[in-house]
Amino acid sequence: MYALASDSWDQEEITAINRVIASGQYTLGKEVSSFEDAFSSFLGKSHSVMTNSGSSANLVATFALRYSECFKFNENRNVVLVPAVSWSTTYFPLHQAGYKIRFLDVNLLTHNLSLEAVIKNYDETVCGICFVSLLGNTKGLEKIKGFCEENSLWLMEDNCESFGAQTQTGKLAGSVGDISTHSFFFSHHLQTMEGGMATTNNTELAMIARSMRAHGWTRDKKSGDLSKFEKNSFKSSFEFVYPGFCVRPIEFMGAVGKAQLSKWDGMLSARQKNASLFKSILKQFSNFIDIQDADIDRSSWFGFSMILKNKAYNHRDKLLNILDKFDIQVRPIVTGNFTNQPVMQFLNAEVSPNLVNSDIIENQGLFVGNDCTDLNQELASLERAIGTFIRDL
Ligand SMILES: Cc1ncc(COP(=O)(O)O)c(C=O)c1O
């Protein structure tokens, strides 16, 4: 079977888990802290705050922006520009924190927000942009960072799909925004199975994110001290300063995260090797199928997206049937055009009238997996399956 994802654990992760058990310390502690430090060093950032998922990282990052003094919330300037193709929990925290979400079209081939769409949909009600590097691809990120700087907007990077990728000028994905988020879910690049991280250079954002992560209190002083009762340790141990959540990770996640991070170079090159093969196979079908516009050696290749065109347009069901017969797992490209989801009725949102590319991604797009194993055989089977599909058109 060609699976959408596979697990990358070996003895190192088991040893890490056993170390936690032997220590008797299971909740947030030194293993998580040590992984946070290693993660900050990897990205060249000052602060990392681990959470129990990428969605929770989005939650604490968004609320950190919301309550910060440096990006002061203003009811009259509360619109955030987002791509119409992303995961549900890119959007929900923005809504929950009181922002208005403005959905923009993405570039068909990079799958990312484009500067053109941002310029077209920008006005003085906009306070920030959430850029999502889709499926390992950062294309467009740096241009949008430039736009944010020119217009005094904050930039959040939802980097849950692009750990380890590089921008066009060689910066690491997740190191560009004012705050960035990462997911360590099973199918993602680093696997703590559930887990996430918010990363920033901004000490205020980091302090608030730490507080929001654990009940809104002031106990976690790693990124600075929020306590108003500094001299009264009895009171300050139960002092609450933000309306927080409890989205703490446990020590197993930190220990395993560190083991995973130490293996990252090898995992990335395996993903890129698979990508190179995928690209060379798909070249022969380029009259019928577009693939993501991403560089072999810059993308971290979360997976492989395909968009049907020309004679293959509108024949996705036929291809899905054939892929099923070849035992190849397949899924939509993230969620397609998210503005078509029923949940939209509950969101404080504006939808750009022109989401043509997002609709094509939804209706003509599909996605097969990549991971850090050698996918030679799986990709050969994909080649045969697509060959059968094209011959039958
Ligand atoms: C872009 C994006 N953001 C956020 C998330 C949420 O991450 P998690 O599954 O760890 O909550 C995902 C998950 O796939 C994602 O793709």
| Residues 77-99: tens digit of each pLDDT | 999 999 999 999 999 999 999 99
Q: Could you identify the atom of ligand 1 that is nearest to the CA of residue 58?
A: 4
Structure tokens at 127: 């306070």
| Closest ligand 1 atom, residue 89 Cα | 4
Mean pLDDT of 74-79: 97
Nearest of 13, 368, 11 to residue 184 by alpha carbon: 13
Q: Please report the pLDDT score of residue 231 as a whole number.
A: 87
Residue 384 makes CB contacts below 8 A (sequence gap 6+) with 326
For ligand 1, whether the C-beta of 161 sits within 6 Å is yes
Does 92 contact ligand 1 (Cβ within 6 A)? no
Q: Each residue of 259-271: pLDDT tens digit?
A: 999 999 999 999 9
Residue located via tokens 């502690």: 29
Strands, sheet with 303-308, edge to edge from the N-terminal-most edge strand: 289-291, 303-308, 365-369
Question: Ligand 1 pocket, 158 CB below 6 A?
Answer: yes
- pLDDT of residue 230 exceeding 90: no
Residue 57 Cα to ligand 1 middle (Å): 9
CA of 237 relative to ligand 1 center, distance in Å:
33
Find the mean pLDDT for residues 309-336. Answer: 98
So what's the pLDDT on residue 363?
Answer: 98
* DSSP code, position 169: T
pLDDT digit string, tens, across residues 25-45: 999 999 999 999 999 999 999
- Read off the pLDDT of each residue in 142-160 and give the average, rounded to a whole number: 98
Rounded to 5 degrees, what are φ and ψ at 291? -115, 170
pLDDT of residue 346: 98
Tell me which residue has its CA closest to atom 10 in ligand 1.
Answer: 54
Cα 182 to ligand 1 centre (Å): 8
Q: Would you state the pLDDT for residue 369?
A: 98
Among 224-238, 337-351, 378-392, whose mean pLDDT is lowest? 224-238
| CA pair distance 291, 321, nearest whole angstrom | 20
Sign of the CA dihedral running 356, 78, 211, 177:
positive
DSSP-derived letter for residue 170 is S
pLDDT single digits (tens) 161-180: 999 999 999 999 999 999 99
pLDDT at 56: 98
Is pLDDT at 114 greater than 90 in this prediction? yes
132 Cβ closer than 6 Å to some ligand 1 atom: yes
Q: Distance between CA atoms of 281 and 275, rounded to whole angstroms? A: 10
Q: Is the CB of 223 under 6 A from ligand 1?
A: no
The CA distance from 214 to 219, in Å, is: 9
Query: In whole numbers, what is the pLDDT of the chain averaged over residues?
Result: 97
Catalytic residue among 111, 188, 189, 215: 188
Task: List Cα–Cα distances, 91 to 56, 81, 185, 253, in angstroms.
Answer: 12, 10, 18, 25
Q: Is 215 a catalytic residue?
A: no
Which percentage of the chain shows pLDDT scores above 90?
98
Give the per-residue pLDDT at 196: 98
